[in-house]
Structure 1
């Protein structure tokens, strides 16, 4: 190990989310409610990466992401890798696939959308346009870039 690298403690059991685009790690922590857990979490922000230039990484002890959660992760970090850890070893790598729709996760950014005034669950169609993730609200039919979506 050279002097410019920092050693991060390995986790015994849990999930490691690596290759998150720099700046998206905090959104992912919020999206999955990881900050509310009592488990140990290690977060690295703006770490050097040969592939991305800079990346974020999240390690969560005693928590396993499901395939559905991993696919929701693809909304903000389509190139991320999700490794499930048992006894300090990677036992499974989850493949990320952009979901076709997302329900009840985000509020519609359009303040005039009926979803803000009626007791309905938010619903969005998801698609990739020129490598950018876009959300289309089922109710107001407006399309939004992922950076506009609030958890």
Structure 2
């Protein structure tokens, strides 16, 4: 029996692997990948020895910025980002939750100054139980990552 890849290799781009099953859609939405003109290959609920099931996203001819990678860490702690060139992995790193996040999305508090003044949102992040909490630098309100994923 021949082993066959479930998701085709890409020549150049970025592969986000080991995404917790069900989180791939949130990542596609958060990074606005479906609004771009890059080629995207997505696998949902693929078998994974470590996780049981996982999602995977392959994006051709695109390398994520640090801010995009930090946004990704909110929804896919432990995911792996592989930078691909000529079908080979040239850089690989695991996603970790950053200590702070600036300008990634608006503060969910509609009374926050970030909605009325020309300042970027700025959050302090911390892991609490199985959730990631974001505390706004300006209004000091705390939010679950699930609330900001819907913005």
Aligned residues: 150
Q: TM-score normalised to the size of structure 2? A: 0.85
Runs of 4+ in structure 1 displaced over 6 angstroms? none
Corresponding residue for residue 133 of structure 1: 132
Query: Secondary structure at 2:91's aligned position in 1?
Result: strand
- By how many angstroms is 1:38 displaced? 1.4
RMSD: 2.3
**1:88 and 1:6 mapped to 2: Cα distance?**
14
Relative distance call for 1:44 and 1:64 in structure 2 (3 A) is: same
Corresponding residue for residue 143 of structure 2: 144
- By how many angstroms is 1:63 displaced? 0.8
**1:7 and 1:44 mapped to 2: Cα distance?**
8
Corresponding residue for residue 24 of structure 2: 25
1:19-75 residue CA offsets vs partner (Å, 9 max, x unmatched): 111222122122222222212100112223232232211000011124453333212
Is 1:75 the equivalent of 2:74?
A: yes
- By how many angstroms is 1:134 displaced? 0.9
Is 1:86 the equivalent of 2:85?
A: yes
Q: TM-score normalised to the size of structure 1? A: 0.85
Query: Secondary structure at 2:75's aligned position in 1?
Result: coil
